[in-house]
Amino acid sequence: MAPHRNLEQMFNPSHIAIIGASATSGKVGHTVLLNLITAGYKGKIYPVNPNVDTILGLPTVRKINDLPQNLDMAVLCIPSEHCLEALEQLAQISVKSVVIISAGFKEVGGLGWKLEEEVIKLAKKHNIAVLGPNCLGYINIDKGINVTFAEGQPKSGTIGFFSQSGALCIGIIDWSKNKNIGFSHFISVGNKAVIDESDILTFLANDPNTKVIVGYLESVENGSRFLRNAEAASAKKPVILLRAGSSNSGAKAASSHTGALAGRDAAYEAAFKQSGILRAREMEELFQLAQAFALQPIPLGPNIAVVTNSGGPGIVAADACEHYGLTMTSLKPETIHTLKEILPSYAAFFNPVDVLGDATPTRIVQTVKTVLADEMVHSLVVLLSPTAQTPMEQIARELVAVFEAIPKDKKKPIFCCFMGGTLVNEAKNILSSAGYPCYDFPEPAMRSAKALFDYKKRKEALPPVEVTYRRDKNKAESVIKKALREGSCELAEFQAQGLLEAYELPTPTTKLCRTSQEAMDIAHKIGFPVVMKIASPHILHKSDVGGVVLNIKNKEEAKEAFLTITSKTQRLRPDAHISGCLVQAMAPSGSREVIVGVKRDPQFGPLVLFGLGGIHVETLKDFSTRLAPLTLSDAHDMIREIKAYPILAGMRGEKPINFNALEDILLIMSQLALDFPLIEEAEFNPVLVNEKGALVADIRIILAHKES
């Protein structure tokens, strides 16, 4: 979806008014103005202050009404209780965008919450783009705009950053300067009353100065809009996000496996995966990856070479390489041949290439050049410890020259790691200012290499194929309506049969029998062995009340099973209305039991879950998730990314299952959940799959309490 139409005016204004500009040093309205002037803004600045004539050398405007019409942008640095009035006055002069730095809104609850709602209403009415409230402001580095109250300005670069936490912004600005990490935009989104992460994603995706989008997120305002915008942004450039708040997902009591397993964070995890977002797991990692993407090209493949002057760290790098699923590549014979000319006989010519502790700058640089030229090498890690023989700054300069000499179409990602403190700090600075990230330790270097390769793999993934299945929506709807009329929010197998038919879901032959005689006859007709299960709209956990008997081999056993099941359940659940028993054909030979579930996430909508039955999903937590609508490749990947996948592929001479049939069932589950927003949770459990096909042997549906 398109972002707010005034976003361009907000981040690229021709003139800026600072409402609440102050002459008193230390006040927010002073710091913001000072930052804006210091950043070198070329546009017109209007400090608005009713009491003084000039602030920081600029003539003030006494009141908002005196500002020119169609003002591009205003910053509010006034107490929250005056914001609404100011916003109304700004609307009168047709302001395009407003940054509300003031706190005291939704985050304080009560009246603040109400105030924010008024701001939203007003902004919508007048089409004003509002950033914040309760934010730090933003910085557009190349345009010389800094309307934040943070101390200091980050370096210029190609990372477009946004954050839901203002405090984090302040820390990061300060931290990033030491690390030579540079930004194009630095945006604090605050309470996201109007402008949210989805707008920012689209804005930064379209921004030519931004090479990589990086964000800190606690929540998403609009799940489906976020998915669309994130997917579009990812298609243009790498998007790396840290999502905090996974521990708040809570353990809401849920009535299905899917419900219990798919916490709130599972929806974020799926949303990120499906929209191509790379998820950072730690704060430092977020910026390490950001820098790697900002500075380095995407590799052609997974092959890594390590050049080092120290054996130990070389081994650590090789361990990390394996850990991250990259390949310590073999070098070409020509490369090894050349290395033998450059290096002493007791050096290590294989990867990691150890040039030894006594290596001179020439030996190091020649080796790096040689290894870098090897086509087998997709990414290079240069790992140096300072020794008496290594004037680190000279080496850094010579390495930069080697890296820069590579023709543009032959560039490879290069990650340096200089281990040490004062002996290497300046050398690291030389490398990172020239555009080559330099780490303290081997592991983060390898982690960055892995992230770049992951991005490459995602870019190459097949385009999504959307599928629609034939189904009888009216029939399905009548099943659901009937259940609701009967006051039931959970549909057991017995009631959900109609849904299975409406969606043409393959099921094992299943018939309802009301007497033991019927049970014998129907079982005989279906053909032994059969399964018998209690049929009651009030009993969802059939096994718990002894409501299932497997492997019934003859009429006698069928009679026995019917009587046992019905009497046992009636005793244990005297409240339940029992319609009889369902008789079902046994699982076809070679069947494996899987679970296909769905749970509606309040933000992202239906989250589909897949896993092997038995203990795999519940106990081993071996399952995969995606948000609906699933594409063909989503269904394909979900089945293959569980650990127990080899069981489906066939072990010990077993035949592989019919994957297409199982993919269909996943896709139909996705469609069912999209067709009926009333469905809160649904589960096909078990689904029986063998080499021939897949059968949904049982189904449970949980409906929302009210029509949506």
- CB of 315 vs its own copies, minimal distance in Å: 4
Residue closer to its own copies, measured from CB, 386 or 547: 386
Residue closer to its own copies, measured from CB, 64 or 187: 187
- CB of 78 vs its own copies, minimal distance in Å: 15
Residue closer to its own copies, measured from CB, 163 or 670: 163
SS3 content of the chain, % helix, strand, coil (to 5): 40, 20, 35
Distance CA 437, CA 690 (A): 51
Burial class from Cβ neighbours inside 10 Å (0-12, 13-18, 19+) for residue 474 reads exposed
- CB of 567 vs its own copies, minimal distance in Å: 19
Q: CA 217, 222, 223, 225 torsion: positive or negative? A: negative
Residue closer to its own copies, measured from CB, 39 or 298: 39
> Which among 393, 397, 301, 305 has a CA at the least distance from the CA of 354?
305
Spell out where 152-246 has E strands.
155-163, 182-188, 212-217, 239-243
- CB of 346 vs its own copies, minimal distance in Å: 4
Residue closer to its own copies, measured from CB, 112 or 606: 112
Asked, as a colleague might, if the bond just before 686 is cis with ω within 30 of 0, I would say yes
Q: Which residues contact 108 (CB under 8 A, 6 or more apart)?
A: none
- CB of 417 vs its own copies, minimal distance in Å: 9
Q: Which residues contact 232 (CB under 8 A, 6 or more apart)?
A: 201, 202, 205
Residue closer to its own copies, measured from CB, 577 or 640: 640
Residue closer to its own copies, measured from CB, 38 or 54: 38
CB of 217 closer than 8 Å to CB of 244:
yes
The β-bridge partners of 307 are 353, 382
Burial class from Cβ neighbours inside 10 Å (0-12, 13-18, 19+) for residue 201 reads buried
Distance CA 115, CA 76 (A): 15
- CB of 101 vs its own copies, minimal distance in Å: 12
- CB of 427 vs its own copies, minimal distance in Å: 12
Longest dimension (CA), the chain: 101
H-helix or E-strand spanning residue 175: helix 166-178
- CB of 125 vs its own copies, minimal distance in Å: 28
**Six-digit token pair at 648?**
């489906």
Residue closer to its own copies, measured from CB, 300 or 647: 647
Q: Cα 71 vs. chain centroid, distance in angstroms?
A: 37
Residue with tokens 């081997």: 442
- CB of 511 vs its own copies, minimal distance in Å: 27
Distance CA 347, CA 382 (A): 16
CB of 530 closer than 8 Å to CB of 586:
yes
**Six-digit token pair at 148?**
């934040």
- CB of 617 vs its own copies, minimal distance in Å: 12
Residue closer to its own copies, measured from CB, 65 or 362: 362
Residue closer to its own copies, measured from CB, 292 or 424: 424
